[in-house]
Structures are given as C-alpha cells and as structure tokens.
Amino acid sequence: MRKAYKPLIAVAILAVPLLAGALRLEVSSAAANPEAQLKQAVLVARTTACQSPEKTTITATAEGIVNGVRRSIPLKVIPLATAGTFAVSREWPAQGAWAVKLVAANPEYKNYSTGIVVPFDNDSPRLAAVQHYYH
C-alpha cells in the first residue's frame, strides 16, 4: 500500500510548478454578475497572473458563419470593478452560428498567451463546450 502513495506524491509535487505563476483565463455567464448585466454583457472573463497582472490585456472576437460566409467581428472588452475581471457585450448579428474567441496576453510571460473559445446559442454561452488553449 505504501508503494502506491509514492507515485501519487511525486505527481502532486511535480504538478505544483506547472500551475504556479501561470497566466490563466476563465469565463462565466454574465447572468451571475450584476455589474456585467448593467453593461449588457453576455460573458464575463477573469484573468489571473502572478507577475504584473495589471499588464494583462484581453482581446475578444466573435467568429461566425452567416449564410455560408465566415465572419470575424472585433468585440469591446469592458473592465469591471474587480481587478482582472472583464465583460464582453454582444456585438454580432442574430443570424448565423457564433463563438467568441478570447485571448489573454501579458508581456511578463514572453511568447505565451492563453485563449478560450466559447460557442453561443443565441445570447447564451454554452459553457460546457468551452475550449481552452495554452501557447
């Protein structure tokens, strides 16, 4: 039984540095954030960065297909009162199939950014289908 714990402890010790100091991006529905609702947002993004979090920038783009034609629409990212929290408003047309692409970057993390793609059904984000990208 003792032998089973050694690999588990080794994995736990090795995994901690992977998460320490990371630049992360998470999303949630704006329905749970009153400030985001006041700004008529459909999505809330949160970033964490251990090094210079105030330097983190987020870009958002609506990616969709309308009548068989692919479209990209840059979106406004609105800072909220809580540090590292941003709102994204719906600025894409009702017709078509759409997803929102968010990318967070910080100059302290050279050659690294993180992104998320959130598919939408009308005005509702499908949070269970969110895809995370780390590069």
CATH of the domain at 124: 2.60.40
Q: Within a domain: residue 94?
A: yes
pLDDT digits (tens, 9 = 90+) for 65-105: 999 999 999 999 999 998 889 999 999 999 999 999 999 98
- pTM of the predicted protein model: 0.78
Q: Within a domain: residue 3?
A: no
Question: How far, in Å, CA of 58 to CA of 48, rounded?
Answer: 12
* Cα–Cα nearest to 39, from 85, 74, 73, 99: 85
Q: Within a domain: residue 102?
A: yes
pLDDT digits (tens, 9 = 90+) for 33-58: 999 999 999 999 998 877 777 788 89
Q: Within a domain: residue 17?
A: no
Q: Within a domain: residue 8?
A: no
List the domain range (segments joined by +) for residue 42.
22-134
Q: Within a domain: residue 14?
A: no
Q: Within a domain: residue 16?
A: no
Does the pLDDT of residue 119 top 70, yes or no? Answer: yes
Q: Within a domain: residue 62?
A: yes
Total count of domains within the chain? 1
